[in-house]
Amino acid sequence: MIDERLKYAANHIKGEILVDIGSDHAYLPIYAIREGMAGGAICGEVAEGPYEATLKNIASYGMEEKIEARLGDGLHILTPDDEVDTITICGMGGPLIARILTGGFENVGGHPRLVLQANNHMYPLRQAVDNLNYRIVHEKVLKLGKHFYEIIVCDYDENRKRMSQKELHFGPLNLVEREEAFLKKIKWEYDHQKRIFESIDGGRNPDKKEEIKSKIKLLEEVLEDED
């Protein structure tokens, strides 16, 4: 029903009620409930077509009593009175997930766990959770085929240490654990930025060339860090 990245995300759901934003046919909530990872769920869809597809899929699995579908923009489907234990937002770009969080978190009651899976650009996503007083308690880079996916799990902690710029770029736990998939992703990004750097005309685009040079330097620091 769901792929390995969503199964990995599901393993970090906690509590009774799951909210899944951008639910894509409610596959993650259905899987989580069937596997005993959650007792009920709210699915959010921003467009009419996916919303109708989600309703049909919930019915086809006989989950109408356990899963509620709501049509609306991001976290605006919620009210502070909703009981929420975990929020999952998966399969989007990091900047979009960041906008969903910062643009609608006032609708969230309490301090639910956040399980977030981004396809790219993690910096603004980590910045968003940091600004919401959340701490990253687990993060993972998954390499599936040719693609890299990042999952971060965040719990509320108003006394946490704010992330450094380097941690915002690469992830505080990734930098410590230095798992193989993470290092492969960094090496891929390093090679990619080197190719971009070599293709830029420094005379016509000096600012862009300097920006890419700074990115390469950051990536080199991670690759060279053996501590």
Residues in the chain: 227
Look at residue 130 in the predicted model and tell me its pLDDT. 97
At residue 200 the predicted structure's pLDDT band, cuts being 50, 70 and 90, is confident
Helix axes 48-60, 27-34, angle to 10 degrees: 30
Q: What is the mean pLDDT of the chain?
A: 93
Q: At residue 54, does pLDDT exceed 70?
A: yes
**Which tokens go with 192?**
């990619």
Q: What is the mean pLDDT of residues 196-225?
A: 86
Count of alpha carbons within 13 angstroms of residue 105, beta-carbon side:
19
> Three-state SS for 77?
helix
* Interatomic CA distance for residues 168 and 81, integer angstroms: 32
Residue that wins the pLDDT comparison between 227 and 205 = 205
Tell me the pLDDT tens digit for each residue of 88-134: 999 999 999 999 999 999 999 999 999 999 998 999 999 999 999 99
* Interatomic CA distance for residues 62 and 66, integer angstroms: 9
Q: At residue 201, does pLDDT exceed 80?
A: no
Q: At residue 227, does pLDDT exceed 70?
A: no
Contact 133, 123 (CB under 8 A): no
Give pTM, 2 decimals.
Answer: 0.93
Q: At residue 225, does pLDDT exceed 90?
A: no
Tell me the pLDDT tens digit for each residue of 146-155: 899 999 999 9
Q: DSSP readout, the chain?
A: ---HHHHHHHTT--SSEEEEES-TTTHHHHHHHHTTS-SEEEEEESSHHHHHHHHHHHHHTT-TTTEEEEESSGGGG--TTS--SEEEEEEE-HHHHHHHHHHHGGG--S--EEEEEESS--HHHHHHHHHTTEEEEEEEEEEETTEEEEEEEEEE-TTPPPPPHHHHHH-HHHHHH--HHHHHHHHHHHHHHHHHHHHS-TTT-HHHHHHHHHHHHHHHHHHH---
Q: What is the mean pLDDT of residues 137-156?
A: 95
Look at residue 206 in the predicted model and tell me its pLDDT. 82
Helix axes 123-131, 94-104, angle to 10 degrees: 20
What SS3 string covers 207-227? Answer: HHHHHHHHHHHHHHHHHHCCC
Look at residue 149 in the predicted model and tell me its pLDDT. 93
Tell me the pLDDT tens digit for each residue of 211-222: 899 999 999 999
Distances (CA, A) of 47 to 24, 53, 160: 11, 10, 36
Tell me the pLDDT tens digit for each residue of 58-95: 999 999 999 999 999 999 999 999 999 999 999 999 99
At residue 226 the predicted structure's pLDDT band, cuts being 50, 70 and 90, is low
Contact 82, 72 (CB under 8 A): no
